[in-house]
């Protein structure tokens, strides 16, 4: 033991030129110098294995101070390497002053317990869940409170449910054939909610769910009228019989919509027409205030010259209003037909406007076809009598932003 103590005393002084991570040792005394980054560190006699692991340099002339276990006891000292005001590295046996001040001023808070919406007590705020429930009562309640449509007028609800048109629904209400929550209602403006109120029409319960909005584009053939009357045998709506028969396969559990046309084309006119069950959409598109341009291709019987084109472009008076077309242009002659064709674009939307313009110029129309409404053009591959569902981009082209 005496030999080991003598060897340890000869190698207890270390010279350090850069910051070094020191292993923990007991009974250590630090002698620091504020003018240099060199330190004299003395240790109590450690174990022999630990001495072999230390990077040791020859001892200096400074004698290490005496230390004993009675002075330090069993305390473990951890050196702090800090930088002084001059930028030099120094050792301290206590933490830096700024560290102690930051620890003293730090505010500690207790972690809040996550409270679910179902177990939230009074005064506790429920934490939103990352994945909302899909079919739970809480999810349905959340949807009903924030996203359910507000109550609507009774006549509008009946028309949206497919009972009848808006005017026919008002007549049913005036006749006392509609009951709301067990009471006869004779006011079409009564606000109702189909999901909450019990509505009967002619003794039949109205479905709680309204049909979804449907937007279709049809290539109308000749001989069909734009009317939803039941007495009409060749109505445009009758072209959607197959579509309505397959409704339950595509939209199981939802009531069938009542389709009607947006605007009208006369019985002899073919081409693009929009069919929907959205009354607000139909009013927006068909009203003259929308200023939607509508393009027609008119096939003319006889010859067409510049005088005819000028007469059409000057316009004519229709229903007390002078209407002028936006574009009048003669198209190249087709190889399979000798009749001239005119491209006419209007925005007024008056009844028989294109036919009146051509008639006023002294010409006779052989065939008339509408090919464009707004920014939506009739697809070339959509044959007569066929329809297609309108996408969101198609609706925006028609000027519908909802």
Residues 181 and 313 in one domain: no
List the structure tokens of 171: 């007549």
Q: Decide if 109 is inside a domain.
A: no
Q: Are residues 368 and 390 in the same domain?
A: no
Is the domain of 385 the same as that of 283? yes
pLDDT at 201: 92
Query: The CATH number of the domain where 256 resides is what?
Result: 3.30.70.580
Same domain, 244 and 297: no
The CATH number covering residue 339 comes to 3.30.2350.10
Task: Between 311 and 96, name the one with better pLDDT.
Answer: 311
Three-state secondary structure readout of 198-227: CEEECCEECCCCCCCCCEEEEEECCCCECC
Q: Which residue has the tokens 């006779």?
A: 364
Q: Which domain holds residue 15?
A: 2-100
Q: Is 266 a catalytic residue?
A: yes
Which of 64, 83, 100 is the endpoint of a domain? 100
Confidence band for 71, pLDDT divided at 50, 70 and 90: very low
pLDDT tens profile 166-202: 888 899 999 999 999 999 999 999 999 888 889 999 8
Query: What was the pLDDT predicted at 368?
Result: 95
128 inside domain: no
Asked if 95 and 165 sit in the same domain, the reply is no
Same domain, 164 and 304: no
Backbone phi, psi, residue 242, to 5°: -65, -35
Q: How many CB atoms lie within 10 A of CB 374?
A: 20
pLDDT at 130: 46
- Distance, CA of 102 to CA of 156 (rounded, Å): 68
Verify that 260 and 299 share a domain, yes or no.
no
Torsion angle of C-alpha atoms 7, 13, 18, 21, degrees rounded to 10: 60
Residue 7 CA from chain centroid, whole number: 78
Tokens of 10: 């000869």
Least confident of 6-20, 99-113, 131-145, 298-312: 6-20
**What digits encode the pLDDT tens for the residues 109-168?**
566 655 555 555 555 555 544 454 556 777 777 766 666 677 888 988 888 887 887 888
Instruction: Give the domain CATH number at 180.
Output: 3.10.290.10
Catalytic residue among 266, 278, 301, 336: 266
Number of domains in the chain: 4
Paired with 341 in beta bridges are 299, 331
d(CA 365, CA 358): 7
Q: How far apart are CA 51 and CA 7, in angstroms?
A: 9
* Residue 82 or 198, more confident: 198
Residue that the structure tokens 């009749």 belong to: 339
In a domain, 116, yes or no: no
Instruction: Please check whether residues 266 and 298 belong to one and the same domain.
Output: no
Smallest CA-to-CA distance from 138 within 122, 117, 114, 120 is with 117
**Given this model, what pLDDT does residue 40 score?**
57
Q: Is 357 exposed, middle or buried (0-12, 13-18, 19+ CB in 10 A)?
A: buried
Tokens linked to 128:
């939103």
* 130 domain-assigned: no
pLDDT above 70: residue 95: yes
For the chain, the average pLDDT equals 76
**pLDDT at position 69 over 90:** no
| Whether residue 347 is found in the same domain as residue 389 | no
Q: Indicate the range of 43-47, 72-76, 273-277 predicted with least confidence.
A: 72-76
Are residues 307 and 268 part of one domain?
Answer: no
Same domain (yes/no): 385, 256: yes
- The verdict on 238 and 317 lying in the same domain is no
Q: Rounded mean pLDDT of 30-48? A: 51
For residue 387, pLDDT beyond 90:
yes
> CA 253, 140, 210, 246: dihedral to nearest 10 degrees?
-30
In a domain, 165, yes or no: yes
| Residue 170 within a domain | yes
Residue 345 belongs to a domain = yes
Taking only the tens place, the pLDDT of each residue in 317-373 is: 888 888 899 999 999 988 888 899 999 999 877 888 999 999 999 999 999 999 999
* pLDDT at residue 129, as a whole number: 46
What is the pLDDT averaged over residues 372-378?
Answer: 93
Q: Of 56, 75, 100, at which residue does a domain stop? A: 100
> Residue 179 domain-assigned?
yes
243: helix, strand or coil:
helix
For position 26, what pLDDT does the model report?
45
């Amino acid at each position: 033991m005496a030999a080991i103590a003598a060897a340890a005393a000869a190698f207890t002084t270390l010279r350090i030129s850069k910051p070094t991570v020191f292993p923990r040792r007991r009974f250590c005394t630090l002698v620091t110098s504020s003018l240099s980054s060199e330190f004299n560190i003395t240790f109590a006699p450690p174990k022999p294995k630990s001495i072999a692991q230390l990077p040791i340099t020859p001892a200096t002339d400074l004698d290490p101070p005496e230390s004993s276990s009675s002075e330090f006891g069993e305390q473990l000292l951890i050196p702090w390497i800090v930088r002084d005001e001059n930028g030099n590295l120094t050792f301290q046996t206590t933490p830096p002053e700024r560290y102690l001040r930051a620890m003293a001023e730090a505010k500690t808070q207790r972690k809040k317990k996550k409270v679910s919406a179902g177990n939230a007590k009074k005064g506790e705020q429920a934490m939103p869940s990352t994945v909302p429930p899909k079919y739970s009562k809480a999810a349905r309640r959340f949807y009903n409170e924030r996203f359910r449509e507000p109550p609507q007028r009774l006549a509008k609800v009946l028309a949206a449910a497919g009972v009848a048109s808006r005017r026919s629904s008002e007549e049913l209400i005036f006749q006392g054939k509609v009951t709301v929550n067990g009471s006869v209602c004779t006011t079409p403006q009564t606000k109702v909610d189909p999901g909450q109120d019990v509505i009967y029409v002619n003794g039949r319960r109205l479905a709680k769910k309204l049909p979804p909005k449907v937007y279709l584009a049809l290539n109308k053939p000749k001989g069909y009228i734009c009317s939803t009357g039941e007495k009409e045998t060749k109505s445009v709506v009758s072209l959607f019989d197959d579509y309505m028969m397959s409704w339950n396969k595509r939209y199981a559990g939802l009531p069938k919509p009542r389709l009607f046309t947006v605007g009208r084309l006369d019985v002899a006119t073919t081409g693009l027409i929009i069919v929907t069950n959205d009354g607000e959409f139909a009013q927006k598109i068909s009203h003259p205030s929308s200023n939607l341009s509508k393009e027609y291709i008119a096939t003319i019987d006889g010859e067409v010259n510049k005088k005819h084109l000028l007469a059409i472009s000057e316009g004519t008076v229709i229903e007390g209003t002078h209407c002028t077309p936006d574009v009048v242009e003669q198209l190249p002659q087709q190889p399979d037909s000798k009749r001239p064709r005119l491209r006419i674009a209007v925005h007024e939307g008056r009844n028989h406007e294109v036919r009146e313009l051509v008639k006023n110029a002294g010409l006779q129309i052989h065939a008339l076809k509408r090919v464009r409404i707004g920014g939506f053009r009739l697809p070339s591959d959509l044959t007569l009598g066929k329809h297609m569902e309108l996408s969101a981009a198609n609706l925006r082209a028609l000027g519908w932003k909802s």
